[in-house]
Amino acid sequence: MGKFVIRETNTGIKFDLKAGNGEVIGTSEVYTTKVACENGIKSVKTNALIAEIEDQTIKDFKTVKHPKYQVFEDKVGEIHFRLKAKNGEIILASEGYKAKAACINGIESVKKNAPEGQITHG
């Protein structure tokens, strides 16, 4: 089972969503309060299963309404996803993947691990 690990940084509080094997699936933005961070986790749990994928790596991609997973390629050619809430805010962002298939697997891992993920403090 996955888990959300809340941790303090030099600039605030953030969380990582980790799979059952301990690998980080995605990371949040930095929040100013613990309550705001916990609300971010609630938003990931709420939106993980209902969000559709918007694949921006293909020509003439179809725009999808929020909530959504945006799949995109960065300047060095790695593929990432970000989960956006109903209001358009980014609530979870992935690492870079070498292949789009691995990125899609990351999204599937969010769908599997986020809804029932326990909250811990790291």
Each residue's pLDDT tens digit, 94-121: 999 999 999 999 999 999 999 999 999 8
Each residue's pLDDT tens digit, 15-51: 999 999 999 999 999 999 999 999 999 999 999 999 9
Are the CB atoms for 94 and 16 separated by under 8 Å?
A: no
At residue 90, the pLDDT reads 96
**What are the DSSP calls for 35-100, one per residue?**
HHHHHHHHHHHHHTTTPEEEETTSTTPPP-PSSEEEEEE-TTS-EEEEEE-TTS-EEEE---BSSH
Strands 52-55 and 24-27: unpaired
Tell me which architecture the domain covering 3-121 has in CATH: Roll (2.30)
CA angle 18, 36, 32 (to 5 degrees): 100
